Chain A
Amino acid sequence: MALITDNLPLIFAALMAVSILAYVVLDGYDLGVGMLMARGDRTERDRMISTIGPFWDANETWLVLGIGLLLVAFPAAHGLILTELYLPVALMLLGLTLRGVAFEFRVKAQLRYQGAWDWAFVAGSLLASVTQGYMLGRYVMGFQAGFWPELFALAAGFGLAASYTFVGSTWLLAKTEGPLQARAVGWARVTLLLTLLSMIAVSVATPLVSPRIFERWFSFPNIIGLLPIPIMTGAFFLALWVFLKRMPRADHSLDIAPFLGAMALFTLGFLGLAYSFYPYIVPERLTITEAASAPESLWIIFLGAFFVLPFIVGYTAFSYYVFRGKAHDLRYD
């Protein structure tokens, strides 16, 4: 018990990190597919939507959990971070709103408006992705003001959008067939390179901004222990590149593999970032322990999460099982 009580802030930081990672990967493919819709015709767009239709809502809930945990477990950090990011947060919400309602309006609205809602879908997905990446960039820069940090954050915005497009492409590769799948392979190859570029940029910038982070990565013997992270990341990139050249395979086995590879890449990148910033929750300003709420309240949430999360994972798996295989047209009957 004391072991848990003493480590509650750490446990909640880990829970929050898992939620954010789950959000980035899961809603990442929704948003990626949303942006890729710009490249499809009406039939292809319908099919693309049908690959994410049954899942997007639950995927987005991970964001609510992540931000909710930040709010309830680390209220001081929540205040600081969201005040710094007030405008990009508002724009992200605008994007998520447009994307979320367009799911419904694009098929239910009067015929003459349906095309406009398709574009709202694309624009909403793009806006949400770019603002999320921008916020990541500001965070990495420790919320410094000025031209260069802003430029970096903006570049990170497009970098994350490209990475989401990559996950989205691999998702389409897994869930579609025929010409659309072939196009998805092409999109995946281009966006894989952009993802590589973005990850390198963030990995170079992070230690340069903070001497503390530089020290963490490049001092001896840390560097030996940490080496597997960049090496594995590089190996995954290479494997994905080679693999995507041979996709789709004639028997459609392993269609899911690139998506799993993309998940692994995101996880590795996330681990790298988490290692860089630990124990800070607001870079160089506030640590996890300093920002945490009262232990008795964290206990109550911990108990709830401990018993409920397995159910959530279970029925999420059930939902993916029900909608397994290639996506067909979405219909209500």
Chain B
Amino acid sequence: MDPILLARIQFGANISFHILFPTITIALGWVLLFIKLRFNATKDEAWMNAYRFFVKVFALSFALGVVSGITMSFQFGTNWPGFMERVGNIAGPLLAYEVLTAFFLEATFLGIMLFGFRRVPNWVHTMATFLVAFGTTMSAFWIIVLNSWMHTPAGFELRNGVAHATDWWAIVFNPSMPYRLAHMLIASGLTCAFLIAGLSAWRWLRGDRERDVVLALRLGVTLGAVLIPVQILVGDLHGLNTLEHQPAKVAAMEGNWETRGNVPLVLFALPNERERRNDFQIAIPNGASLILKHHAEGVVPGLNQFEGKHPPVAPVFFAFRVMVGMGMAMLAISWLGSYFIWRRGHLPKLLAWGFVAMTFSGWIATLAGWYVTEIGRQPWLVTGVLSTAQAASAVPAGMIGTTLAMYLAIYVVLLGAYISVLFHLAGKGNAAVLGPVPAPGPNIPDPATVALETAR
């Protein structure tokens, strides 16, 4: 098999596995901070119980994110040595800043956040929760900066084929960065919201009607209902930004072959790249022109304009529809759920099962979205600067294949274990999850701890 394709599959598999976990932890860190602040303000034990349950989810997700992230830091070099040779002067500092300003911060304060509740004053514990959330977000910031730069490079010049930075401000705030960062952070919020709603609905259906479960369920459903319209708006803006800078990607997303006006919005089709047309197309007349150009005659770029230089159409086309479809499902269920929770005070059973089914809907939407944007960038690794093939390594296909099989096997096992353990934790019921009542600690007699222990 082609070593470049193998290297791509390997890197793609690793990065897909990796993104699942930061997508949860970036937003869950902030949600935990919110819960902790509610506890500080109300001294309501239910909030602390919710914190204790979801901090376990956080710890587990974080560990999986860390180990897959370390693998990635090696694969940058092993799979794409040409990447660092050509654009290392730009990618290098961005990656270094991620390690320096994010990784150490989150890793160090995670210890205090997880195990320090009875060893430090309450405010230090709250501060540690904040610093972990801040660290995960900083990490997202730097890596999105680098990723966006690869899509829309700016602030550099090529000397002997090697990129040299000329304007760091332009590199960091490159044209697609603000849109991509907002889109990703909200995606993380949604993934986390549906995870919280799904796990809480599962606990609720299993007969665990403690107040912390109800609070968390309400929090998850409401967060999802608030974020999804914002995400649709931001996604639309990101799409318009992509139309400006990477029109071939948008053409593939829309399944549009000819550059012309009155382009329909293709709801479903089988893109046929050989004959350069769509089979079995169902479309809304003028839809794409209206969305992308805001009038029916608006001229939308088509794939034929970029023949030989556009991404593979079918994966981008379908991944885009999976993402949008998942977004619509999220909109429907979270608004329906909010209506029942806030107006009727409870969730119908069927709807609760719906939330259980949607527990990992954020993962599907996020992965589909990343496939749209990353496959949509092909054949480039860095748009206009470096093609994927140029960056590949000389490692023989057999070696890549062997390690790929190993990685895939371990990812399947870990993913299965992760999902089953989450539902296992959720199904155990309050008493078992929280363990026996803690004996008074030998350390600082903190007011919050005392309040907690007398409340029990």
Contact = CB atoms under 8 A, between A and B. Distances in A.
B38 to A, nearest CB: 17
Interface in B240-296: none
A275 to B, nearest CB: 26
B56 A332 contact: yes
B67 A100 contact: yes
A300 B93 contact: yes
Interface string B65-94: 011111101101110010011001111110
Given A54-B112, A319-B108, A83 B93 contact: no
B283 to A, nearest CB: 45
Given A68-B73, A79-B84, A101 B55 contact: no
A193 interface: no
Residue among A53, A55, A97, A113 facing the most chain B CB atoms (10 A cut-off): A97
Given A68-B73, A101-B64, A319-B112, A110 B424 contact: yes
B77 A104 contact: no
B96 A67 contact: no
A296 B164 CA distance: 8
Residue among B60, B63, B434 facing the most chain A CB atoms (10 A cut-off): B63
Nearest to B435: A331
A308 B112 CA distance: 20
Interface stretch (B115-123, B180-188, B316-324, B375-383): B115-123
A322 B116 contact: yes
A69 B88 CA distance: 11
Contacts of B402: 87
B348 interface: no
A86 B73 CA distance: 13
B305 interface: no
B95 A71 contact: yes
The binding surface of chain B is classed by DSSP as helix
Contact of A297 (B64, B89, B114): B89
A55 B111 contact: yes
Contacts of A105: 60, 417, 421
Interface stretch (B98-106, B229-237, B336-344, B361-369): B98-106
Given A64-B99, A319-B108, A83 B394 contact: yes
Contacts of A101: 63-64, 67, 414, 417
Contacts of B421: 105, 108-110
Interface residues of B, number: 74
Interface string B36-74: 000000000000100010011001101110111111011
A297 B162 CA distance: 12
Contact of B70 (A96, A316, A333): A96
A72 interface: yes
Contacts of B55: 332
Contacts of A67: 73-74, 77
Contacts of A113: 417
Contacts of A71: 73, 76-77, 84, 88, 92, 95
B97 interface: yes
B114 A332 contact: yes
Contacts of A304: 93, 96-97, 100-101
Interface string B386-398: 0000000111000
Interface residues of A, number: 60
Nearest to B49: A333
Residue among B62, B108, B109, B403 facing the most chain A CB atoms (10 A cut-off): B108
Nearest to B71: A93
Residue among B69, B74, B95 facing the most chain A CB atoms (10 A cut-off): B74
B450 interface: no
Given A64-B103, A294-B89, A322 B97 contact: no
Contact of A57 (B89, B101, B110): B110
23 contacts: A53-B114, A57-B66, A57-B108, A60-B70, A64-B69, A67-B77, A72-B92, A75-B81, A76-B85, A82-B77, A86-B395, A97-B67, A97-B410, A110-B420, A294-B162, A297-B90, A301-B93, A301-B97, A304-B93, A312-B105, A312-B108, A315-B108, A322-B120
Given A73-B92, A113-B417, 14 more contacts: A54-B115, A64-B99, A68-B95, A72-B91, A78-B77, A78-B84, A82-B74, A98-B410, A101-B63, A105-B60, A109-B417, A330-B115, A331-B435, A332-B52
Interface of B: 48, 52, 55-56, 59-60, 62-64, 66-71, 73-74, 76-78, 81, 84-85, 88-93, 95-97, 99-101, 103-105, 107-112, 114-120, 162, 164-165, 168, 393-395, 399, 402-403, 406-407, 410, 414, 417, 420-421, 424-425, 434-435, 438, 452
Interface of A: 53-55, 57-58, 60-61, 63-65, 67-69, 71-73, 75-76, 78-79, 82-83, 86-87, 89-90, 93-94, 96-98, 100-101, 103-105, 108-110, 113, 293-294, 296-297, 300-301, 304-305, 308-309, 312, 315-316, 319, 322-323, 330-333
